[in-house]
Amino acid sequence: MIQTYFFQRGTWCIPTRKWFNFSTFQPFILPADMSIFSKIAAGEIPSYKCAESEKFYAFLDINPVAKGHTLVIPRQETDYIFDLDDETLAEFQLFAKRVAVALKQAVPCKKVAQVVLGLEVPHAHIHLIPMQTEADADFRKPKLELTPEEMQAIANSIYGEFKKQ
């Protein structure tokens, strides 16, 4: 079975690693104006995958404020979260909830903070941050420095918990 992902700009085909036009199914080059998050979800940029579905993708933040700090994005490229239609926004929140449940199992914490913040990437996203105290979700504090092996182990643990649901 060929796995594809649907974006506003076309269809991403995983095995061929090519974009296809919806109407003609002809390959086309990845748009230069795609957000970095769209490129991550499409597999063009490596990430520490924590969860995925046909419509959404979750991966570890490479500049985490806490161990397990995860970003959840819609595959549909939309800059502002409240520009998503109601149905997609509701599905996005439900997907983020599933990721948060997996995150809490993988990274023991009192709660998982949900933060919608950031202007630097023009792509809607939710930060999920494991926290023992509110200070754990402070974006002004120094970022954690984790090794690639630590990041991969955390991502694998979250993804393993996500798949159990």
Which residue in this structure is represented by tokens 């690693």?
Answer: 17
Q: Are 30 and 39 in contact (CB under 8 A)?
A: yes
Nearest Cα to 125, choosing from 1, 36, 9, 16? Answer: 36
Lateral strand order in the sheet of 27-28: 4-7, 10-13, 18-20, 27-28
CA-to-CA distance for 102 and 50, rounded, in angstroms?
A: 9
The H-or-E segment that residue 38 falls in is helix 36-41
**Helix, strand or coil, per DSSP, at residue 137:** helix
Which residue in this structure is represented by tokens 């948060």?
Answer: 100
Active site annotation includes 125:
yes
Handedness of CA 125, 35, 15, 22 (dihedral sign): positive
The residues carrying an active-site annotation are: 125
